[in-house]
């Protein structure tokens, strides 16, 4: 039986299951696998079956931790964008016949995942609100699981059902591929936050990978593969903000010609940009923040010299390169 833990996280409360099946390290030099591995390690400790619902997202599952609800959209009352990518991932799992228990449970609440990746009402056929989803999964529309009663029991039941579905061996590759497709899609996004008109019309792939499809990127310099894998890991936490950091702190400051050289200077700038960010828990000043967790996991794969004081990803990045 999976061990379920109650977790208080800021103003939210819910439960978590750590997962058991550990993801294998990536094949050396395959950049997409490197980015996928580092992201999985930071998001779920690289464990398939890791699920939780204690941070206001309703439910989070998958090796790269896809969420059911965007808390920021709920805070802004943005109903058009409050549902997260977990519903799309569930549709993938449904094709593998891995969601029968979850589907039956959803039916009890009069909802179902549509083929276009949304949670919709059986009665109206329209997407339900993020508050509805959060109350369904955590027993409270604000994401604060009750300490007793039906809400707590339902919260635990949901968590175990998602854990079991995402621990199934048949679904492991599907989880990895779903995350990689997210990276591929994002690599085709334009750098819309750049202040230079020319830069903002170019895609991330054109600027950072010479236009090569992300799945075909091999043999990058170690320092550059580390820096860009760090970016991809941050992008699943906050896609728009991660892109903005890359645009404003790297592309705008260094220019296209410097970036295309893929030099250590570029890699340092990428790492420093995220380590100096005050967004969420990204700052390198936070002992258990995203920078330090990313660095600790990265040290398990990339060569040790990249983590020295004056190298690419030191314990503390230079404020002068921010």
The answer to whether residue 189 sits within a structural domain is: no
pLDDT of residue 71: 85
- Residue 77: pLDDT band with limits 50, 70, 90: low
> What residues make up the domain containing 124?
5-175
171 and 199 housed in the same domain: no
User: Which residue, 175, 207, 223, sits at the end of a domain?
Assistant: 175
Q: Tens digit of pLDDT for each residue in 237-284? A: 888 899 999 999 999 999 999 999 999 999 999 999 999 998 888 999
CA distance 5 to 77: 30
Q: Are residues 169 and 202 in the same domain?
A: no
What strands, in cross-sheet order, belong to the sheet with 60-61?
Answer: 5-9, 12-17, 51-52, 60-61, 66-67
- SS3 of the chain: helix, strand, coil, percent, to 5: 50, 10, 40
User: Do residues 198 and 236 share a domain?
Assistant: yes
Average pLDDT score over residue span 283-288: 91
Say if residue 28 is in the same domain as residue 123. yes
User: Are residues 159 and 198 both part of a single domain?
Assistant: no
Over residues 151-169, mean pLDDT: 96
Whether residue 131 is found in the same domain as residue 268:
no
Of 111, 144, 175, the one marking the end of a domain is 175
Specify if 34 maps to a domain.
Answer: yes
| DSSP character at residue 4 | P
Q: Work out the mean pLDDT of the chain and round it to a whole number.
A: 92
What's the mean pLDDT in 85-103? 94
Residue 80 has pLDDT above 70, yes or no: no
Asked whether residue 225 falls in the same domain as residue 93, the answer is: no
Name the residue with higher pLDDT: 74 or 189. Answer: 189
Among 74-78, 122-126, 167-171, 194-198, the range scoring the smallest mean pLDDT is 74-78
pLDDT of residue 277: 92
Within a 13 Å sphere around the CA of 3, how many CA atoms are in the beta-carbon half? 5
Instruction: Using the 3D structure, point to which of 110, 140, 175 is the last residue of a domain.
Output: 175
Q: Coil, helix or strand for 137?
A: helix
Is 186 within a domain? no
The number of folded domains in the chain is 2
End-to-end CA distance of the chain: 47
> Looking at residues 189-198, what average pLDDT do you find?
93
Is residue 185 assigned to a domain? Answer: no
Q: Is residue 187 part of a domain?
A: no
Same domain, 140 and 9: yes
Q: Are residues 161 and 219 in the same domain?
A: no
In the prediction, which pLDDT does 69 show?
93
What SS3 class is residue 133? Answer: helix
Please tell me whether residues 92 and 133 are part of one structural domain: yes
Is 285 part of any domain? yes
Residue 93 lies in a domain: yes
Regarding whether 221 and 131 lie in a shared domain, the answer is no
* CA dist list (Å): 8 to 15, 160, 220, 242: 8, 18, 41, 26
Coil vs helix vs strand at 94: helix
Q: Are residues 23 and 150 in the same domain?
A: yes
Structural domain includes residue 88: yes
């Amino acid at each position: 039986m999976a061990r379920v833990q109650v977790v208080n996280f800021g103003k939210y409360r819910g439960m978590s299951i750590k997962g058991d099946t550990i993801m294998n390290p990536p094949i050396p030099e395959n950049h997409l696998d490197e980015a996928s591995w580092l992201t999985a390690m930071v998001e779920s400790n690289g464990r398939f079956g890791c699920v939780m619902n204690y941070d206001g997202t309703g439910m989070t599952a998958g090796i790269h931790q896809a969420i059911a609800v965007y808390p920021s959209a709920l805070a802004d009352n943005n109903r058009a964008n409050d549902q997260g990518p977990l519903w799309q991932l569930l549709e993938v799992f449904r094709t593998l016949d891995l969601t029968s228990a979850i589907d039956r449970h959803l039916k009890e609440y009069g909802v179902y995942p549509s083929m276009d990746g949304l949670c919709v009402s059986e009665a109206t056929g329209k997407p339900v609100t993020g508050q509805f989803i959060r109350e369904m999964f955590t027993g409270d529309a604000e994401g604060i699981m009750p300490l007793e009663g039906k809400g707590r029991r339902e919260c635990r039941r949901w968590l175990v059902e998602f854990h079991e579905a995402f621990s199934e061996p048949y679904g492991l590759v599907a989880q990895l591929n779903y995350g990689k497709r997210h990276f591929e899609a994002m690599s085709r996004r334009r750098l819309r936050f750049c202040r230079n008109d020319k830069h903002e019309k170019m895609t991330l792939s054109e600027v950072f990978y010479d236009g090569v499809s992300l799945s075909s990127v091999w043999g990058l310099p170690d320092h550059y593969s580390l820096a860009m894998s760090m970016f991809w890991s941050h992008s699943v936490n906050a896609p728009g903000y991660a892109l903005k950091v890359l645009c404003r702190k790297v592309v705008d400051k260094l220019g296209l010609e410097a970036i295309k050289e893929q030099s250590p200077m570029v890699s340092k700038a990428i790492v420093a940009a995220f380590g100096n960010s005050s967004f969420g828990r990204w700052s390198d000043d936070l002992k258990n923040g995203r920078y330090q967790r990313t660095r600790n996991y990265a040290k398990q794969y990339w060569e040790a010299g990249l983590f020295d004081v004056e190298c690419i990803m030191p314990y503390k990045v230079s404020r002068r390169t921010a």
